[in-house]
Amino acid sequence: MPVDSIKGSLREKGVRLTRQRELLLELIDKSGEHLDAERLFQLAHERDPRLNRVTVYRTLKLLKQGGLVDELDLMHYGGDQHYYETRMKQEHAHVICLRCGKVEEFFGEPLQKLRRQIESHFGFQILLARTEVGGYCSHCRSLRAREMEQAAREAARQAIVEPNGVGPRSRSKRPA
């Protein structure tokens, strides 16, 4: 949902759009990132040193309760951190790399088709859908492949040096 629509929704709900709230909305909407509360505070504090953490948390709660901002866990890549984005008109999936944490957004007809299938199959009216997909981005896949090759070479080298896994080969003569 564009920031202008959010501002209008706040006014409709009787919520005053303060300078700090407007700043936080703008940062959430235009940063191009999925921001957690602490990062949002840091960015906002750079632009307005008078802004404090309490204002950030209260504003996030207000925006969430009003259905204007979504709170996401993004596959818990950052542990228990939650991330925020303005509610958009078009649903999308979050594609998260479980190694580096890169987040991509996927928009498209396949998501709408899945939604229609779920509604039809269950006779269910979907009001909100959040889709998260976890895996490895192309960069991390190539890093993992190299690591696996290196681990295989190391395991093969160890098997030659320690064939029974007991220690280095003994060259002493065995008793007869």
- pLDDT at position 21 is 85
Q: CB–CB of 67/6 below 8 Å?
A: no
Q: How high does pLDDT run on average in the chain? A: 84
- pLDDT at position 165 is 55
Q: CB–CB of 44/20 below 8 Å?
A: yes
Condensed to tens digits (0 to 9), the pLDDT of residues 60-76 reads 998 888 777 888 888 88
What would the mean pLDDT of 138-160 be, rounded to a whole number? 92
Which residue(s) pair with 69 in the sheet? 86
Q: Is the pLDDT at 175 greater than 70, yes or no? A: no
Q: Is the pLDDT at 38 greater than 90, yes or no? A: yes
Q: Which domains does the chain have, with CATH numbers?
A: 1-88 (1.10.10.10)
- pLDDT at position 133 is 93
- pLDDT at position 79 is 78
Count of CB atoms within 10 A of residue 46's CB? 10
The torsion angle over the Cα atoms of residues 160, 164, 168 and 172, rounded to 10 degrees, is: -110
- pLDDT at position 161 is 72
Residues in the chain: 176
With a pLDDT cut of 70, the percent of the chain lying above it is: 86
The 69-72 sheet, strands edge to edge: 35-36, 83-86, 69-72
The helix (run of H) or strand (run of E) holding residue 36 is: strand 35-36
| Amino acid code (one letter) for 64 | K
Least confident stretch, 6-10, 27-31, 38-42, 96-100: 6-10
